[in-house]
Amino acid sequence: MVRAEGAVATAWRLSALQRCPPKDDAAIVGAVRLFSVLIAALTMDLAGRKVLLFVSATIMFAANLTLGLYVHLGPKPPTPNSTVELESAPLGGTEQPLAAPTSYLTLVPLVATMLFIMGYAMGWGPITWLLMSEILPLQARGVASGLCVLVSWLTAFALTKSFLLVVNAFGLQVPFFFFAAICLVNLLFTGCCVPETKGRSLEQIESFFRTGRRSFLH
């Protein structure tokens, strides 16, 4: 949840609930995660893995795009000493203080963050690990699973180290737009390369890859 943790901190800082105690922050995030995982557990065998991956990526795309647009176009929070600067500024000055954001508009990043966490927890969070055990061939499952975990943590490390560097260099909206683009890639990858494994044996899944079949609806 590397992206989610950064988004939670950002949304809470930008939202009207930024004075909420940290324990309430963690409680709300935990409740959203639990609710989303329950949805995935109850619907995984009914709707199928692929459908949940599509829904998950779509929700995350919408949430990241909303956060990026909000940061880029939305109201900017006032600086801590903006009131002092306003009182000391001359009447004829050209500089204008930053406008305080409205209470309802500042709920947008908070809602978008909760949607992102929900989308991740109901699809790309748990289902990818399940698919790894279903799709990987038995002969290479141990080594391939280890490589998948290694790549996952290396990616998490790279994102953690580069997030603030990118924000300081290009602005906070750039990482969110980048994450939205990754979600679009996820949609294409799911449609072209990920088979539906619901109700299928391991032999049928391996046959899918041996024959080279690729289909959005398969």
In the chain the domains, ranked by start, together with CATH numbers, are 2-211 (1.20.1250.20)
The type of residue at 145 is: S
Structure tokens at 33: 């995660």
- When pLDDT is averaged across residues 53-79 and rounded to a whole number, the result is 83
100: pLDDT strictly greater than 50: no
Distance CA 190, CA 176 (A): 21
Q: Band of the pLDDT at 20, cuts 50, 70, 90? A: low
- Highest-pLDDT range among 15-19, 182-186, 205-209: 182-186
26: pLDDT strictly greater than 90: no
pTM value?
0.72
Output the average pLDDT for the chain. Answer: 75
Q: Which of 80, 68, 66 is nearest to 18 (CA)?
A: 80
Q: Band of the pLDDT at 59, cuts 50, 70, 90? A: very high
77: pLDDT strictly greater than 70: no
DSSP state of 77: P
Distance CA 186, CA 183 (A): 5
Inter-residue contact 197 to 132 (CB < 8 Å): no
